[in-house]
Amino acid sequence: MRNLFLLICLCCFSCYLSARSILISTPKTSLLLSAPVDGELKFVYYGAKLSEVDVHTMGETEKSKLLAYPVYGLNCPSEAALAVKHSDGNMTLQLKVVKVDVLQQNKAELTTILLKDKVYPFYVKMCYKAYQDVDMIEIWSEISHQEKNAVVLNQFASAYLPVRRGNVWLSHLYGAWANEGRLVQEPLEPGMKVIKNKDGVRNSHTAHAEVMFSLDGQPQENAGRVIGAALCYSGNYKLRIDTDESDYHHFYAGINEDNSIYSLKKNELFRTPELALTYSDEGLSGTSRNFHRWARLHKLANGTKLRKILLNSWEGVYFGINEERMNQMMTDIASMGGELFVMDDGWFGDKYPRRTDKTSLGDWVVDKRKLPSGIEGLIDAAHQRGIKFGIWIEPEMANTRSELYEKHPDWVLKAPERELVLGRGGTQVVLDLTNPEVQDFIFHIVDNLMAKHPDINYIKWDANMSIMNHGSNYLNKEEQSDLYIAYHRGFESICQRIRLKYPDLTIQACAQGGGRANYGVLPYFDEFWVSDNTDALQRIYMQWGTSYFFPAIAMASHISAAPNHQTFRTIPLKYRIDVAMSGRLGMEIQPKDMTDEEKELCRKAIAEYKEIRPVVQLGDIYRLVSPYDKLGVASLMYTSPEKDKAVFYWWKLEHFYNQHLPRVKMAGLAPNAEYRICELNRIDKQPLDFEGKIFSGAYLMANGLELPANHLVDRNKKNDYSSRVLYLEKVK
């Protein structure tokens, strides 16, 4: 009888779920919705994973009042996710649940909930993709209709999430060129908080489409409940947080509708970009670890393949490329143990040789005056030195002084009856990616390079201009407001074609620095250039913020010259190395200007980075002391998933006599394991006291290690910078 009673209870529970509640879960998180057929789709819960008992009890006690996808027209004072104008002029929506489907995908479960307006043949399909191997739920909407004429979409967010009011803090990123990825943390107060982008081409210089909500007060790195959200879109976006008179902060995320009102044709499907949601009770770093695992496994091209150590030619020679210099740089990086050489801007142009940024974009032919042996000669030279070869392109752009522009002036974005607004160098323009002919041209830039030179291993894809001219020669007059959206559809189509044909080609997303650090781009790119600013001290701040949402394997971080080419700050090589080793290590320097001693230090660092590379690029991040806390140091560490290896970074940020710096506790180790300590990149005359010594994980996480504030070096080598990299290996 008892077994029969339990069976009846389980059957009742299943009926209850199918009738009202939709439970969407990952290994450690749950999203609960109420979806009665012919009723409204409502939000109930998002957070730590629910048990079946909790779901049942919540269904009886939590009376949902909030729509899961608020629409405009019948609750006008509130913010909306979706607002339309029907073909008859009616501006209201009222959506009811039609059906719910669940589809098992590879390592994910896709739940779709079809909604229909109660009067009009207007449909919204809400899609929820719950990964079963990482704690991430992607949400997006698919909008369509069967009305006689077009329906105007005035607002079209991907998703909405209510966050219960309390002492909630927001963490997000802001910045500018050469100062990207800066972290700001602030309490959410009554009113509207808007984070947006209107660049048109790049969307992460001035702000980012990713945020974290700390639910337990001022954010902590390794404790507290945190919700993370990332809009997976390469174009203009808008994040809105409306704190009204209710008990909730109302979070909306989607494409920025400003100057992008969309006319939706009958039977056309409008798919919004995914909003990725994650939750952790292990603080900001715990939420970052969720983002990083999801990125490596599902959202980053070749996300589990270790990245090569490279030398890029840009800061070494700028436009002064020639065969002799390229061969010399390849010889130098090979001698230091590097694995890849990337020839940057300045290698192309026939009628208009690329000697400055004023000409040649669009004319992707080798300048034989600079490179008489061509690209094939450089590839052969790289192979002789045992390294790979890569190349720079900027395929979405042109210069008005180029053969391409002379032949196809109609291929650039330009407002009719207006003079061109010109970008970099006073001659740069953006190609019209809404045009299929232009899409084909851009695809063939890559395809032709790879067909002629299949041994090209790496492409640096740059984009150095915003959309400054709103106008398309391809779109008709009724479609001009579609420009921003159509541009990024064209961009995505090009990227899909390239990846389909060249899945193993490494491609970096560079966009005047860090303008394309977003999850709309990264499925097609292996990494991004964090910033054109290579100053090591400023990079600590930028890479710290960027690490909130993006893994080290995607963050290109290079050793550059001193004085730095952007800030003119003189930072010792050891410090520059230690900062660069916390991301994907590379070099951005002219090696022939280095001393033999400096080359040897880099050679040693590259060899040691190869040993720790799996931990840094594939491991779990634990941020320990933030540079934004102004405690004089910054510190973070990576641990292997098995917790048998870890890499600890410590950088001093300021220098005073009688300075008192905090002793940094470690995190992410196995408490009962024992770890041997080894310092990497050591320049001191004698080892640290704990070099080669063994400590328990519990001790290191409770106490940390006492690090000297300065390096013990000869007087003529002393300076005001110090940094440490420690490698921890579990004693078996």
Which residues are designated catalytic?
462, 532
503 CB neighbour count, 10 Å cutoff: 9
Smallest Cα–Cα separation from 158: which of 189, 172, 137? 137
Report the amino acid identity of residue 209.
A
Measure the CA–CA gap between 464 and 394, rounded to whole angstroms.
Answer: 8
Alpha helices in 670-711, H assignment, sequence order: 697-703
Q: Helix (H, G, I), strand (E, B), or coil: what is residue 587?
A: strand
Measure the CA–CA gap between 58 and 246, rounded to whole angstroms.
Answer: 21
Instruction: For residue 179, give the DSSP letter.
Output: S
- Here the tokens at position 106 are 């590879």
Give the contacts of 53 (CB within 8 A, at least 6 positions apart): none
Measure the CA–CA gap between 557 and 529, rounded to whole angstroms.
Answer: 8
132 CB neighbour count, 10 Å cutoff: 14
- Here the tokens at position 203 are 């969307």
Alpha helices in 185-297, H assignment, sequence order: 283-294
Q: How far is CA 368 from CA 195, 351, 447, 533, 586, in A?
A: 47, 11, 21, 31, 28
Instruction: For residue 2, give the DSSP letter.
Output: H
Measure the CA–CA gap between 367 and 346, rounded to whole angstroms.
Answer: 9
* Dihedral sign, Cα of residue 582, residue 584, residue 590, residue 595: positive
Measure the CA–CA gap between 238 and 250, rounded to whole angstroms.
Answer: 14
Measure the CA–CA gap between 356 and 138, rounded to whole angstroms.
Answer: 43
